[in-house]
Amino acid sequence: MTQTVLKSANFDNKVKQYWLCLAAICSVFPLVTILFIPVILIIVWLVAGRILAAMSADLLERKLVVKCGIFFKEEKSIPLEKITDVGLSQGPLMRLFGLYRLSFETAGQSGQGALVSLLGVVDASEFREAILTQKDNLTAEQPAKAKQDESQSQVELIRSLTYSVKNIEQMLVTLLDEKK
C-alpha cells in the first residue's frame, strides 16, 4: 500500500558543527583526554556526516516515520492520533548554531522523556506546525467518520430487524396453515 508523503523534514548541516563543538567541550573536561581531542574531533567530523545523511523524518497522512542510524538502523512509525505533544527546544549552544530539537511524546508512552527526538530539522517550527495541523485534520475527520459508521450500522440493524420480522411472519403463516 503506497502512502503519500505530505511533508519531509530536511536536516541542517550545522548539526555537524554542533556535534563537533559538543565533542570538543566534552573532551576538554577530563585532563586525560586532552591528547585525544584532535583524534576525537576528526572522528566526529567524519562520522557526523554519515549519521546526518541516514536521518529522515516523513510526515504521512496518518503517521510520522522517523529513520536514523548507520550501524544500528532504527525506524519508528508514530501514528498522528497518538501524538500528545510536539516539543520545540533550544539550548544555549544550539542557539549559537541556530538549531532546534523537536521531541514527540505519545499517549501510552512508558517512561519519562520523548519517544523520538530530532535535532537540526530545517524550519523546525514549520515542520512542527505541519504535524499538528495534520493531526488536527485527522481528529476532525474521525467524528464525521464515526457518525457515518454509526448511521451505516443503524441501517444494517434496521435491515436485520426487518429480515427477522419477515421470518417471524412467515413462520406464523406456516403455523396457522398447519393448524387448518
The proportion of the chain whose per-residue pLDDT surpasses 90, expressed as a percent, equals 42
Judged against a pLDDT cut of 90, whether residue 159 lies above it is answered with: no
Distances, alpha carbon 76 to alpha carbons 20, 73, 104, 179, in Å = 26, 10, 11, 70
CA separation for the pair 164, 158 (Å, rounded): 10
CA separation for the pair 38, 24 (Å, rounded): 9
pLDDT tens digits for range 13-26? 999 999 999 888 88
Mean pLDDT of the chain: 86
Phi, psi of 105 (to 5 degrees): -115, 145
Judged against a pLDDT cut of 80, whether residue 145 lies above it is answered with: no
- Domain 5-145, what architecture? Roll (2.30)
8 A C-beta contact, residue 50 and residue 70 = yes
Q: Is 59 exposed, middle or buried (CB count within 10 Å of its CB: 0-12, 13-18, 19+)? A: buried
pLDDT tens digits for range 40-54? 889 888 899 899 999
CA separation for the pair 9, 66 (Å, rounded): 10
Of the pLDDT bands very low, low, confident and very high (cuts 50, 70, 90), residue 154 is confident
Domain parsing of the chain, residue ranges: 5-145
pLDDT tens digits for range 90-132? 999 999 999 999 998 887 766 666 678 899 999 999 999 999 9
Higher confidence at residue 164 or residue 35? 164
* Terminal Cα-to-Cα distance of the chain (whole angstroms): 62
Higher confidence at residue 28 or residue 93? 93
Mean of the pLDDT values across residues 85-89?
91
Higher confidence at residue 109 or residue 60? 60
